[in-house]
Chains A and B, each alone.
Chain A
């Protein structure tokens, strides 16, 4: 069995950035495991631009952004395996892989970075009634077919879900010759970035119906039409508001779920809110030496923040491997409690002595807040009260914790992050 100081599961933007950081921080014996035929992950099919505004101050396409990191990985001569599926990660960090050339193999890792990304929620998970015809695609699957294989899944399209993938696909399908009739969104607000509403729907005259959902799918062999209905405050369809749209394609952009089957089987504790691992200030899970970053940890909106988060994970993995004893904390963990509109934070708890001088805490709110404040408390002491013009569930937020300031608060029991109206 081959031994590695670090095994990175996933060669997408998170895995690539983590690999670069781990190497630059001293890890030599490492490997990236990627199941697709090339590195780059989901970015390979995101051919629209808008990536890298923060990281490179440029507007790159997905493949271009990925290539910047692939080039770094190659320059640093970091080994990777393609077409290799990880089948299992054991609690003691044995990683079971499979590919055509080597068959089934076991690798023993001293540390692991989970960077598997996320998958899409399918029609079945929403229990949408109706027939089960051809022509129903999750937006990401359609994106792969269109952008990487060059095939059109349909001619007349209805899209359910105004998250970024749904919005991007509304534009893409239109550019490739299809007619997108409507985008329906269950919530009274869109789940995607504001700029995507403008650039993908408004610019193409595609109507957006908020507080609407699909209540029936017509067509036994192939989609013939979709029935939309308006929903009430509880998401229940309002009788009498039904509208039939004839179409041959339904694209679903109805939620991304971190892909944590492997994590669960390894014994990693998951957050019921994010479905991603619960991590400390070092992005380390409950299993020492197992770290997580990117969409597998929590679904991101901007790849720049994925790269930033992954770099932190890579750096911390290196610290774990090279300074093993250093990773054990002498102090009690301090929880970061999300409340009052904040759905979750990453990390969810910190070991003060293991913090960097500044720690970025990322979070999402559960509703749209206008003219409200992000407040951070150390026990009862409010240390941050920042006004934000708009906060929405579709845009990840962040605050910075300063180690110095935390140290000054003796006997700290909890850190609270909440939204306040005044």
Chain B
């Protein structure tokens, strides 16, 4: 029997796993995807919000501000790129500047530091490419951008190194209450555990409702995004928000931590919890709405677009608590924006709840640090050449757009919870994220995966089961 089973290897589940791995507990993370970070955690704005958006007194506000404060240290411990660039909520001349003041006041009540309302001159001096109609802005220096995949992967690797077990391709189908805990029926057999942490994203309500009469309800809210080439990189230096509306923070324009520009998201409610398809209307909305805050966005430099599904619960709040009518079942549900920014605090909060239930002993040998994949581009020429001499794979460039070497791809495959698919390699190394979108490198990466994992080429997938790339050999199909 496990002490804790965490459903979901997204950013909430893995942050919780990491926090709990500091204790002497038998922990397993079950994930229906083939890898960590396969759900909404891989398709979001990547913003570490300052925390003025959420309602004062809400759990969302508390964990956003705490997560934001923790993030620089967490990013350092986990060797994850983080850019504390700050954010601006811009107000156009036809909009009500009072709304900026309201956000400011909300931020102060939430404990956000450094907030300032800027006038027209100050705002445009900071960001020359803002739309001419922008008359004022709320400046939040504590906001930033991070790599959502690397953060998620890092939480998981660190948890794994501290003893947490991970089971992929393991979808939970049913949860039953048993004596002393729960039995989770999965496609790969049952798991029994004292405590369940339900971090199942858009599916969290389904699992909650299996054990509790007090139902919750999640509506997937789709966000479409467009990603622009790094050549557009100096369009803006900070995250540019518009005034928030009924469905959320609105369309933003932001640098990514890697130097691209991201534009989006929409906020479109839908039924289908798996439909991460973008739509023509969604992409058009992203393009037209983004022009309201930033002028001359070079939309012709779009290299890809994608969509993520926010797990919006009817109450519009994070639900992180042990259920009253299901002792030992801990929800970590309704984690929509600011879920990524809050993740270190979410993990900490879940840990406190679980520790209170199980009262475990702390590990003496818990390792909080994790080293990421070495990027030879960060080394000096001498260091790089020494590395290549020792390991020639670092002298062999596979992804020409992002200049990723074979050495990095091998590291990605062979480290704990290593990549086993093209997307797994992509999220860990950036191979395939450049302007040719893996047109050049995918055959080479597939070859490396097949060789290193001792698989047939026809077994290599883009993102796990059902996503095979090769159907057979020439003339044999």
To the question of whether A and B form a pair in one complex, the answer is yes
Binding site for B on A (CB under 8 A): 35, 83, 85, 87, 98-104, 119-120, 122-125, 127, 129-135, 137-138, 140-141, 144-146, 149-155, 176-178, 215-218, 220-222, 237, 248
Contact present for B302 and A220 (CB under 8 Å): no
Contact present for A177 and B477 (CB under 8 Å): yes
Q: A130-B277, A131-B276, A149-B457 are in contact. List 9 more A-B contacts (CB 8 A).
A: A100-B393, A101-B395, A103-B388, A122-B437, A124-B437, A132-B276, A133-B462, A134-B461, A145-B470
Q: Given the known A-B contacts A124-B303, A129-B282, A133-B462, are A100 and B395 also in contact in the complex, defined by CB atoms under 8 Å?
A: yes
Contact present for A153 and B470 (CB under 8 Å): yes
Q: Given the known A-B contacts A144-B443, A177-B474, are A134 and B463 also in contact in the complex, defined by CB atoms under 8 Å?
A: yes
Number of B residues with CB within 8 Å of any CB on chain A: 55
**Max chain B CB contacts within 10 Å: which of A138, A146, A152, A215?**
A152
Contact present for B305 and A127 (CB under 8 Å): yes
Could you list 30 A-B pairs, sorted by A, with CB under 8 Å?
Answer: A35-B400, A87-B397, A103-B384, A103-B395, A122-B304, A122-B435, A122-B436, A129-B278, A129-B282, A129-B283, A134-B468, A135-B469, A138-B436, A138-B439, A141-B443, A149-B447, A152-B470, A152-B472, A152-B476, A153-B469, A176-B475, A216-B277, A217-B277, A218-B277, A221-B462, A221-B465, A221-B466, A221-B467, A222-B468, A248-B471
Q: State in angstroms the CA–CA spacing of A108 and B328 once bound together.
A: 68
Q: Would you give the shortest CB distance from A374 to chain B, in whole angstroms?
A: 30
> Which residues of chain B are near A152, meaning CB under 8 Å?
470-474, 476-477
> Which residues of chain A are near B276, meaning CB under 8 Å?
131-132, 220
**Max chain A CB contacts within 10 Å: which of B282, B474, B476, B477?**
B474
Q: Would you give the shortest CB distance from B264 to chain A, in whole angstroms?
A: 12
Q: Given the known A-B contacts A124-B437, A215-B280, are A133 and B475 also in contact in the complex, defined by CB atoms under 8 Å?
A: no
Contact present for B306 and A132 (CB under 8 Å): yes
> Which residues of chain A are near B476, meaning CB under 8 Å?
152, 177
> Which residues of chain B are near A146, meaning CB under 8 Å?
474
Contact present for A129 and B305 (CB under 8 Å): yes
Q: State in angstroms the CA–CA spacing of A414 and B462 once bound together.
A: 54
The residue that A124 contacts in the complex, of B279, B305, B395, B467, with Cβ under 8 A, is B305
Q: State in angstroms the CA–CA spacing of A206 and B205 once bound together.
A: 49
Which residue in chain B gives the minimum CB-CB distance to A145?
A: B443
> Which residues of chain B are near A125, meaning CB under 8 Å?
302-303, 435
Q: Would you give the shortest CB distance from B283 to chain A, in whole angstroms?
A: 6
> Which residues of chain B are near A99, meaning CB under 8 Å?
395-396
Q: Would you give the shortest CB distance from B314 to chain A, in whole angstroms?
A: 26
Q: Would you give the shortest CB distance from B72 to chain A, in whole angstroms?
A: 32
Contact present for B397 and A35 (CB under 8 Å): yes
> Which residues of chain A are near B471, meaning CB under 8 Å?
152-155, 248
Q: State in angstroms the CA–CA spacing of A103 and B394 once bound together.
A: 8
Q: Would you give the shortest CB distance from A215 to chain B, in whole angstroms?
A: 7
> Which residues of chain A are near B83, meaning CB under 8 Å?
none
B247 proximal to A (CB < 8 A): no
B13 proximal to A (CB < 8 A): no
> Which residues of chain A are near B381, meaning CB under 8 Å?
104
Q: Would you give the shortest CB distance from A84 to chain B, in whole angstroms?
A: 9
Q: Would you give the shortest CB distance from B44 to chain A, in whole angstroms?
A: 15
Q: Would you give the shortest CB distance from B202 to chain A, in whole angstroms?
A: 14
Contact present for B392 and A101 (CB under 8 Å): yes
Write out, one digit per residue, whether chain B residues 211-243 have a CB within 8 A of any chain A CB (1) or not (0): 000000000000000110000000000000000
B464 proximal to A (CB < 8 A): yes
Which residue in chain B gives the minimum CB-CB distance to A148?
A: B443
Which residue in chain A gives the minimum CB-CB distance to B441?
A: A141
Q: State in angstroms the CA–CA spacing of A123 and B306 once bound together.
A: 12
> Which residues of chain A are near B466, meaning CB under 8 Å?
220-222
Which residue in chain A gives the minimum CB-CB distance to B421?
A: A134
Q: Given the known A-B contacts A152-B474, A221-B466, are A100 and B396 also in contact in the complex, defined by CB atoms under 8 Å?
A: yes
List 7 A-B pairs, minimum CB-CB distance, nearest first.
A124-B304, A221-B466, A134-B462, A103-B385, A100-B392, A122-B437, A221-B467
> Which residues of chain A are near B442, meaning CB under 8 Å?
141
Q: Given the known A-B contacts A129-B279, A176-B475, are A119 and B436 also in contact in the complex, defined by CB atoms under 8 Å?
A: yes
> Which residues of chain B are near A215, meaning CB under 8 Å?
280
Which residue in chain A gives the minimum CB-CB distance to B301?
A: A125
Which residue in chain A gives the minimum CB-CB distance to B392?
A: A100
> Which residues of chain B are near A132, meaning CB under 8 Å?
276, 306
Contact present for A151 and B388 (CB under 8 Å): no
B403 proximal to A (CB < 8 A): yes
B389 proximal to A (CB < 8 A): yes
> Which residues of chain A are near B439, meaning CB under 8 Å?
119-120, 122, 137-138, 140-141
Which residue in chain A gives the minimum CB-CB distance to B466?
A: A221
> Which residues of chain A are near B352, meaning CB under 8 Å?
none
> Which residues of chain A are near B467, meaning CB under 8 Å?
133-134, 221-222
Write out, one digit per residue, whether chain B residues 418-436 have a CB within 8 A of any chain A CB (1) or not (0): 0000000000000000011
Contact present for A150 and B474 (CB under 8 Å): yes
Contact present for A98 and B279 (CB under 8 Å): no
Q: State in angstroms the CA–CA spacing of A222 and B472 once bound together.
A: 15
> Which residues of chain A are near B275, meaning CB under 8 Å?
220
Q: State in angstroms the CA–CA spacing of A79 and B476 once bound together.
A: 41
Q: State in angstroms the CA–CA spacing of A216 and B282 once bound together.
A: 13
Q: Would you give the shortest CB distance from B227 to chain A, in whole angstroms?
A: 8
Q: State in angstroms the CA–CA spacing of A152 and B280 once bound together.
A: 30
CB neighbors of A among B380-407 (8 A): 381, 384-385, 388-389, 392-393, 395-397, 400, 403
